[in-house]
Amino acid sequence: MLPLDTAGLQRDAREHLLFHFTDQSVYADREIPIYTRGEGCHLYDTRGRRYIDGLSGLFCTNLGHSYGAEVGAAAAAQLGELVFTPNWYVAHPAAIALATRLAELAPGDLNRTFFTSGGSDANEAAYKLARQWHAHNGEPGRHKVISRRVAYHGTSLGALSFTGLGGMRAPFAPAAVPTHFVSNTNAYRHPLGDDEDAFCAALLTELEEAILFELPETVAMMIAEPVQNSGGCFTPPRGYWPGVREICDRYGILLVSDEVICGFGRLGAWFGATRYGFQPDMITFAKGVTAGHAALGGVIVSDRIAAPFAAGELTFMHGLTFGAHPAGCAVALKVIEIIEREDVLGNVRRNEPLMRDMLESLREVPIVGDVRGAGHFWAIELVKDQATRETFDGAEADWLLRQVLSEELADAGLLCRLDDRGDPVLQLSPPLVADMELFAETVDIVRVALRNAAKLVAAGAGAVLTTAA
Ligand SMILES: Cc1ncc(COP(=O)(O)O)c(C=O)c1O
């Protein structure tokens, strides 16, 4: 292998890359992180420094970095056989095999898959399916969507419409799809959050009121994640999902479970819907289906929704060249095989209670307000005051996350997410093959960083800095 031209990579990245969701001014006086190699649950940068892949890239590298050769061989075999044929009018064996496999893994009668290239376009496809299906049933007026606050469902204009993050939507307003946002399942910030049943009842009442306000005959679908990522791993209260399902049924609204993160094992089951015991009309997926080895996504559709399309009464007026790319499908089939062979779901299920206990022990740090999550999907909410739950807002959160914690954690060798799209959280979402030794090391790094940050907060450093700025 050629020696790395570290300076050249830095220069060319600065001159030629347009980063996603990145304020590039942060790189004016610091290096762009450039990772060149992965092994197990670790990444290595251009200088050979090692990092724990604590967010699985972006909730993608569920098998870590050691199966690349095996998965790559499956992709190479596929490309040696057939490079490409679309899923428009025609089919190929890898797409057929993967769709068949997904029908076996998905709950209930979710038996048919429309493939996309990623998660945003999976959610767009779900919406278009819902629109055409309702119109076919004599309800063309059903065009609105119910989504949840702070939820992230993607960036293409339809998916962005369902994304409950004002800052992301603002530059592209007005939204392409009229969407009504209801509360998410953030128990920590809800007045009834300490009483699980009352909290659940309040959320369901709010959902029903929103539907009635919008007029049920104008609502096409509700979209939500089994555990909401954005805002920090909001798990559902007991009874929430069956309740949502029942309300959607009562008003003829289709329920879409966005499993772009939750699907393929993140919660210890193939799908979050299975774990929480509800039957969606559609499941959207991406990321984990290939464990990050290739770009692929899709929508798994119930027999009821698929029926008019399958019978030829309706033509789905939507298509993507690279939906069901043969290499992506071959990769996904191999990844599913490895997940089963290595009992990856079992690993997640066994780790969950141990991870919870370890993370709960962080409550001894004065700025840890809440610990929540499931499977290999966790968030720690940071607060100024544990008793009052006062949050760090605006510039303080920015200081804490971006000036204090991000460098300290990276210097200590941990990649994770520091997010203040809702209240500030630190998120950990390790590869599904990670063991408890790695997680213990992760939690140790987090503990030291949070303790140091807590000392700075107690000394008023953030307030001084943010006032000075
Ligand atoms: C829940 C959820 N839905 C949709 C998306 C969009 O997926 P993609 O980035 O592949 O378009 C994401 C991406 O992070 C996501 O987390």
Structure tokens at 217: 């005959």
No. of helices (H) and no. of strands (E), the chain: 17, 16
Name the nearest CA neighbour of 122 among 285, 319, 320, 332. 285
Contact 264, 63 (CB under 8 A): no
For the four alpha carbons of 449, 451, 456 and 462, in that order, the dihedral sign comes to positive
Residue 213 pLDDT more than 70? Answer: yes
From CA 307, how far away is CA 132, in angstroms rounded? 12
Q: How far is CA 28 from the centre of its chain?
A: 30
> Can you list the alpha helix ranges (DSSP code H) found in 106-175?
119-136, 157-161, 166-169
Give residue-wise pLDDT tens across range 325-358.
Answer: 999 999 999 999 999 999 999 999 999 999 999 9
pLDDT at position 460, please? 86
Distance 431 CA to ligand 1 centre (A): 17
Atom 7, ligand 1: residue with shortest CA distance: 119
Report helix, strand or coil for 252: coil
Indicate the pLDDT class of residue 468, thresholds 50, 70 and 90: very low
Report the nearest atom of ligand 1 relative to the CA of 151.
1
Position 265 pLDDT exceeds 70: yes
Average pLDDT over residues 52-60: 98
| Partner residues linked to 382 by β-bridges | 368
Report which ligand 1 atom has the smallest distance to the Cα of 58: 14
Q: Based on C-alpha coordinates, what's the Rg of the chain?
A: 22
Position in ligand 1 atom list of the atom nearest CA 156: 11
Residue located nearest, by CA, to atom 8 of ligand 1: 119
Distance (Å) from CA 154 to ligand 1 centroid: 5
Contact of 415 with 53, CB cutoff 8 Å: yes
Predicted local distance difference test score (pLDDT) of residue 2:
62
Q: Which atom of ligand 1 lies closest to the CA of 119?
A: 7
What is the structure's pLDDT at 4?
84
- Per-residue tokens: 105: 């893994």
Distance CA 171, CA 67 (A): 40
Examine the pLDDT at 467 and tell me if it is beyond 50.
no
Burial class (CB in 10 A: 0-12, 13-18, 19+), 48: exposed
Best residue among 21, 55, 120, 259 to mutate for probing ligand 1, ranked by most atoms within 8 Å of CB: 120
pLDDT value of position 281 = 98
H or E, element range at 305: helix 303-310
Residue nearest (by alpha carbon) to ligand 1 atom 3: 153
The rounded mean pLDDT for the chain is 96
Share of the chain above pLDDT 90, in %: 95
- CA 119 – ligand 1 centroid, Å: 5
Predicted pLDDT of residue 463: 66
Q: Which one, of 187, 189, 261, 195, lies nearest residue 229 by Cα?
A: 261
Residue with the smallest CA separation from ligand 1 atom 14 is 154
Q: Is the CB of 235 under 6 A from ligand 1?
A: no
Q: Is the dihedral of CA 288, 290, 294, 298 positive or negative?
A: negative
Q: How far apart are CA 410 and CA 447, in angstroms?
A: 14
pLDDT at 465 over 80: no
- 235 with 190: CB under 8 angstroms? no
Distance CA 98, CA 101 (A): 5
Distance 152 CA to ligand 1 centre (A): 7
- Residue 20: exposure state from Cβ atoms within 10 A (0-12, 13-18, ≥19): exposed
How far does the centroid of ligand 1 lie from the alpha carbon of residue 115, in Å?
Answer: 15
Provide the pLDDT for residue 469: 40
- Ligand 1 and 263: CB distance under 6 A: no
Kindly report the pTM of this predicted structure. Answer: 0.97
Q: Which of 214, 282, 283 is nearest to 251 (CA)?
A: 214
Residue-wise DSSP of 262-286: TTTTTTSSS-HHHHHT---SEEEE-
Looking at residue 461, its pLDDT comes to 81
